[in-house]
Chains A and B, each alone.
Chain A
Amino acid sequence: MSSTSPRVPSFPVTESIRQKLADAFHPQVLEVINESHMHNVPKNSETHFKVVVVSEQFDSIKSPLQRHRLVNAALATELEGPVHALSIVAKSPAQWESNQSIPASPNCKGGDGSLPKKSSAS
């Protein structure tokens, strides 16, 4: 599956996340979605991400907590730095085969003193 994220050098964090997840999990499916535009941050920010990782490594790791910990660990540098929010979908190939849905991320509620995105409802 091809990614929807732009593959241009002006998105270094997105590139770095993609590279690190590819190296760590050799995924069959890898998507790095920059969701920063859904939040009240400057245009072209790289702060809020969703990643979809489908890997055979998750065949033997059933616990979602352990899977997410591995993904967090692979992206520790990014999470300590520019990345403010990371939503994770980590599945085994069999799980992905039976259910390819990616949960929608919730609307921003303006935490951290930032305001909800102006175009959002209410």
Chain B
Amino acid sequence: MAKLILSMDGLVLKEIPLTKERTTIGRKPHNDIQIDNLAVSGEHAVIVTILNDSFLEDLGSTNGTVVNGNPIKKHFLQNNDIIELGKYKLKFVGESAPAAAEKADFEKTMVLRPSAMKAAAEQAKAMAAAAGGAQAAVAQRAAAVQHAASTAAAAGIADKDATKTAPTPLAAPVSNPAPAPVPPKPAQPLGAIQLLSGANAGKELELTKPLTTLGKPGVQVAVLTRRPQGYFITHVEGADRPQVNGQRIGPAPHALKDHDMIELAGVKMEFFLKG
């Protein structure tokens, strides 16, 4: 369950779970989150929560709604977003990540069947009414997703791992938080090459990109790839293959070590790692 943490001047005042589809924020008492401050409009903003996605929408407030320093009209809330209303701050905290193994299952492709969607029409209608406007269509779909997913899990269709999801029929495929972002590439030393011969002798080239091509197109080209395991050189085109430390490399990528000497299209260069 996502929640908001209300604070002022760094002091946490309240934690508000986003249990409702529509959570209103404003100065007037009928709001779900009432903030009694003149900088806050009577009906200031609303957070629409569909399954695990929460959307913040400004309701034409006088002083506007700011998320992470940027004024917004509508915003798809991400974990740790800071919503500013006058002197008050609301921090959005998404759901905690489940076990990685569980996630892998949920990422499997599933189909939303039109028939399942129809069956979910009533449920969707209620949601659409609540969400209103542009969100209606998606809310409808979202309800259909929920329905489709639950029928899929129950009937053992469409989901690649029906057996695993079956014990929790209503739950799972829809209630997983976003797949973990691509893990950051492990820190690795930056590689560079220095030309030792030819017109540009002495020149240094840092290998910051995942791919760097070297050589003369049409004559001989090789590519240096930057991978988590290190740097590799691969022959791309040309009758002759590049040499590393005097040895002609094969068709497969060749791992480069610090201070390897490369010879390519008649030019000698040295590969080295920067500390």
A and B form one complex: no
Q: A residues near B, CB below 8 A?
A: none
